[in-house]
Structure 1
Amino acid sequence: MELRQLYYFVKVAKKEHVTQAAEELHVAQSAVSRQIHQLEEELGVKLFLQKGRNLQLTPVGQLFLKRAEVILEDLEKAVVEIHEFMDPEKGEIRLGFPHSLGVTVVPQVVASFRKLHPNVQFRFRQGMYPSLIRDMVKGEIDLAFISPFPDEHEQVCGEVLLTEELFAILPTTHQLAGEQEIELSQLKDDTFVMFGEGYSLRPIVYEACEEAGFTPKIGFEGEETETIRGLVAAGMGVSLLPEMALYHAGVLQTAKVRIRSPKVTRNIGIIHRSNEKMPLVAKVFHSFLIRYFKELEDKQGNKETVSP
């Protein structure tokens, strides 16, 4: 069975007339009749019945028409997707990211990119570290922000985009709320508000506390940075959050205090599948991210070198 036969069949079925179908297809009437005849022979059924000067689909012809239209529609979509794949100014980027980057980083980066490439669309997927790796390996996303950056993985690779400092966040009534810097060990007697199991920030905070000489007492768990901040602001405990998660203050206020020792950081990277060519539009976005965060790092470095 050839695709040409399906095209001819669908056109004749719609026109109910071989001559009119041939005219729209810009081929000879005999060519259309021959292809329809060959298709019927291959299927072993009659697809049309003569009704005066017109043709009428048989019941089995009506059934076959539905399937043929789906096949041709899927083929047309595939051709469009291939063209979009090869066009950096069109198409769709399937982007994964952890919840902690959803408040500021992802919206800001995507908005900046779309100023340069307004026709590019995005499909987003939030998830925890294991699910982002899994979705990447399964081919369900093209790129993913991830933290911590995987040191070694057979099926994914990428680059570290930035290293970010974590700060202690305290209720405004906390005895250390007015300090500029503290030792993490000064919070050893406090109750901690932590991310749940599977979230990448949880082991970072837990390991930092152990390095400071204590095991954190976990009183509450949350799944969003805003939830963590809200619980801390309500006096339910203390926590550690990345600086970018503290850019936008909520209704309930917390105190932000730098941790002098141990220094607590997380790295954020962008990953893609190893040994597989990215869609061209995703490759353009990947290159944009590298430049974007390099410029951001340079700006922050310049600020730190300016004398007060």
Structure 2
Amino acid sequence: MISIKQFRYFVEIVDAGSYSRAAEKLYIAQSALSRQIKELENEVQALLLTRDARHIELTPAGQVFYERSKRILEDIDETVRQTRHVGQGAQGIIRFLHSSSVTLTPAIGALLHRLLAQFPGVSLDISKDSSENQAADIEEGRADLGLVRLPTLRKHANIIVRELFNEKLVVAVSQQSPLAAQASTSIAALRDQAFVSIPHKDRGGLSYLVAGMCLANGFFPKAARALSRKTTQLHLIEANLGIAIVPDSMRLVAPPGVRFLDLPEEESQSTVALISPRAASGMVAAFADAFVREMVAGDGL
């Protein structure tokens, strides 16, 4: 039976680059460390490491074992952290995702602050993920709640989608662009512009929505020579490498060299939604319900 100690020893050796440095960090004899790895290799029936006097190398089997060992140890550490959190009187941690196109505005931050006051036993672990990937992460237990920008392409039977608010879209351009002199434009007028964000065939979200808007005006967005689906696209725009249609809230995080043009109201609406597991725990379900209730009461913030 492989022990957690052996997982940790193996990862430490790889990260340190040698048995001797790992032994020093682990405060054990190098011979004892070598013995543990030999026992580990006997258990998995595969050679994991090769070494000479100066360095070590992972075998193909060792590479697989190293990557999976790191994930296992991270899961164990997270389990210990959450258990300790509960033992100190808290209820737990909610893993909260948001897409890069759903900016955590001051208003959303204030809402989360109010909710955490209502749920003193809850802590939030917030990270970014694409709108398309969030549902799979939640369905497979890697996350609890997500803020997505519709549409998403895949439907998940075990995921609840609740629309929260509509947000207008604007055109982000470089201050060096001839377009920067305009206060507004239309989708049709962007036909010849290069877009720094175009849709991926397997992803929905903002880029998919924008492509649909362009197609409705008779063209598909032309790709710029540098692309990004993240908020870094704003820096590509600042460098005058292309344009993008983005949510109005992107103004809050845009670099100074980016200008925003209004679009006609009928062309410029997008929807943000909260997704959650259909069989959510009591804590997650209560937090999600309160989030939606606060958002509706605030008229979408």
Question: Could you tell me whether the CA contact under 8 Å between 1:184 and 1:261 is conserved in 2?
Answer: no
Which residue in the other structure is 1:223 paired with?
Answer: 229
Q: Distance in 1 between matches of 2:120 and 2:265?
A: 45
One-letter amino acid of the counterpart of residue 172, structure 1: Q
Which residue in the other structure is 2:194 paired with?
Answer: 191
> Which of 105, 114, 121 is residue 112 of structure 1 equivalent to?
114
RMSD, matched Cα = 3.1
Q: Distance in 2 between matches of 1:261 and 1:101?
A: 19
One-letter amino acid of the counterpart of residue 285, structure 1: F
Question: Could you tell me whether the CA contact under 8 Å between 1:195 and 1:228 is conserved in 2?
Answer: no
The alignment-based identity, stated in percent, is: 18
Which residue in the other structure is 2:267 paired with?
Answer: 263
Residue 163 of structure 1 deviates from its aligned partner by 1.4
**Pair 1:204–1:132, CA change in 2 (3 A):** same
Which residue in the other structure is 1:171 paired with?
Answer: 174
Residue 174 of structure 1 deviates from its aligned partner by 2.7
Question: Could you tell me whether the CA contact under 8 Å between 1:211 and 1:262 is conserved in 2?
Answer: no
**Pair 1:261–1:270, CA change in 2 (3 A):** closer
Which residue in the other structure is 2:243 paired with?
Answer: 238
**Pair 1:238–1:254, CA change in 2 (3 A):** same
**Pair 1:245–1:199, CA change in 2 (3 A):** farther
**Pair 1:156–1:150, CA change in 2 (3 A):** farther
**Pair 1:104–1:205, CA change in 2 (3 A):** same
Matches within 5 A, 1:110-189: 110-148=112-150, 153-189=156-192
Q: Distance in 2 between matches of 1:241 and 1:129?
A: 15
The answer as to 2:273 corresponding to 1:272 is no
Question: Could you tell me whether the CA contact under 8 Å between 1:97 and 1:126 is conserved in 2?
Answer: yes
Unaligned runs of 5+ in 1: 1-73, 300-308
SS of residue matched to 1:182: coil
Q: Distance in 2 between matches of 1:259 and 1:189?
A: 17
Which residue in the other structure is 2:299 paired with?
Answer: 297
Which residue in the other structure is 1:36 paired with?
Answer: none
SS of residue matched to 2:260: strand
> Which of 207, 210, 214 is residue 209 of structure 1 equivalent to?
214
One-letter amino acid of the counterpart of residue 194, structure 1: S
Question: Could you tell me whether the CA contact under 8 Å between 2:102 and 2:272 is conserved in 1?
Answer: no
Question: Could you tell me whether the CA contact under 8 Å between 1:171 and 1:233 is conserved in 2?
Answer: yes
One-letter amino acid of the counterpart of residue 259, structure 2: A
SS of residue matched to 1:209: helix
Which residue in the other structure is 1:97 paired with?
Answer: 98
Question: TM-score if structure 2 supplies the norm length?
Answer: 0.62
1:242-263 deviation line (CA, Å, top 9, x unaligned): 112222342x321111111751
One-letter amino acid of the counterpart of residue 129, structure 1: S
Q: Distance in 1 between matches of 2:299 and 2:269?
A: 15
Q: Distance in 1 between matches of 2:113 and 2:295?
A: 14
Question: Could you tell me whether the CA contact under 8 Å between 2:151 and 2:209 is conserved in 1?
Answer: no
Q: Distance in 1 between matches of 2:196 and 2:237?
A: 7
Residue 207 of structure 1 deviates from its aligned partner by 1.2
**Pair 1:262–1:216, CA change in 2 (3 A):** farther
**Pair 1:169–1:161, CA change in 2 (3 A):** same
One-letter amino acid of the counterpart of residue 252, structure 2: Y
Alignment length (residue pairs): 216
Tell which deviates more after alignment, 159-168 or 240-249. 240-249
One-letter amino acid of the counterpart of residue 227, structure 2: E
